[in-house]
Chain A
Amino acid sequence: EAQVTQNPRYLITVTGKKLTVTCSQNMNHEYMSWYRQDPGLGLRQIYYSMNVEVTDKGDVPEGYKVSRKEKRNFPLILESPSPNQTSLYFCASSSAGRNTEAFFGQGTRLTVV
């Protein structure tokens, strides 16, 4: 089954404690992205990757890091989380070409206290 898998689904952490949210896709997609969803703001792109070892900032990259060492994995790293990073996070992957569409993970609800 084609899918994007995020872990964990729920996470409560304290300010300043480094954390990583994992994302893996099994569709051999070139493009992967991270979004955060906040009420009234829709989804905003944090970082994206167009292929292995190629990453770039999205619209709200401050406080986040990513890496793309393998095609299937695209972890999101918060080196020093702060309360304003409390949000619902989604990973997505998509193929190139006219038949493209983005497939989304189930989301990670992060609370930073």
Chain B
Amino acid sequence: AQSVTQLGSHVSVSEGALVLLRCNYSSSVPPYLFWYVQYPNQGLQLLLKYTSAATLVKGINGFEAEFKKSETSFHLTKPSAHMSDAAEYFCAVMTINDYKLSFGAGTTVTVRA
């Protein structure tokens, strides 16, 4: 069984500041890990994924995440926030035997001008 914990349901950052969204997972087998973004009234869009290749993963819109096995973490960062980054972000873990995705509760990001 796997589970995902996202620390902080809401994060507020100033435009130009670092964005850091935390994600910890538990899984009985090595997982695949994903970050998705959801803009208002839209579906989920893949930001980036880790599927057992490089541990530092770069995604779209300047986001990146680092897989740390020893910490069971997959935190998402962006060096400089933009107003367009305001959205809800979901971390998810997939077990490769059944391709089931388990999601965290989500983190809503607001960006202050």
Interface residues of A (CB under 8 A from B): 4, 31, 33, 35, 40-45, 48, 50, 58, 90, 92, 94, 96, 98-102, 104-107
Tell me the complex Cα distance, A107–B42, Å: 7
Report yes or no: B105 in contact with A33, Cβ–Cβ below 8 A: no
Q: Nearest Cβ in chain B — how far from A51, in angstroms?
A: 11
Q: Mark B69-92, 1 if CB is under 8 A from A, else 0.
A: 000000000000000000000101
The SS class assigned to the A binding surface is: strand
Contacting residues, chain B, for A35 (C-beta < 8 A): 103
Question: How distant is the Cα of A37 from the Cα of B103 in the complex, in angstroms?
Answer: 10
Chain B 12-48 per-residue mask, 1 if CB under 8 angstroms from chain A, else 0: 0000000000000000000010101000001111100
B interface, size bucket:
20 to 34
Q: Contact check: which of B46, B98, B103, B106 meets A101 at CB < 8 Å?
A: B46
- Option from A42, A44, A50, A99 in Cβ contact (under 8 Å) with B99: A50
Q: In the complex, what distance in Å separates the CA atom of A42 from the CA atom of B90?
A: 8
The one of B94, B96, B106 that contacts A42, using a Cβ cutoff of 8 Å: B106
Closest CB-CB distance, B72 to chain A, in whole Å?
18
Q: Which residues of A contact B43 (CB under 8 A)?
A: 4, 90, 104-107
